[in-house]
Amino acid sequence: MAGDLEVEVGERTGPDVVVAVEGTTTVGDGLELAPGEAAWVPVDDGPYRLAVDGVAHRVSAGG
């Protein structure tokens, strides 16, 4: 993901890892990641919001 955008990540079958590369990345209701930081999002957390002002990568496991 790159630029200034916000997405709703829906139902998943496995966990996600979100890695901030550049700028600001916000996971869920306010977990802010600086460049080089990462967040583990368990599948049991359900859908979540992902806001990026810069560059971030979202990796999903479980198909």
> What's phi and psi for 46, nearest 5 deg?
75, -160
DSSP secondary-structure letter at 63? -
How many other β-carbons are positioned within 10 Å of the β-carbon of residue 35? 14
Task: Say what the pTM is.
Answer: 0.89
Q: 50-63 pLDDT, tens per residue?
A: 999 999 999 999 76
Length of the chain: 63
Q: 13-56 pLDDT, tens per residue?
A: 999 999 999 999 999 999 999 999 999 999 999 999 999 999 99
> What's phi and psi for 36, nearest 5 deg?
95, -10
Domain spans of the chain, in order of start = 2-60
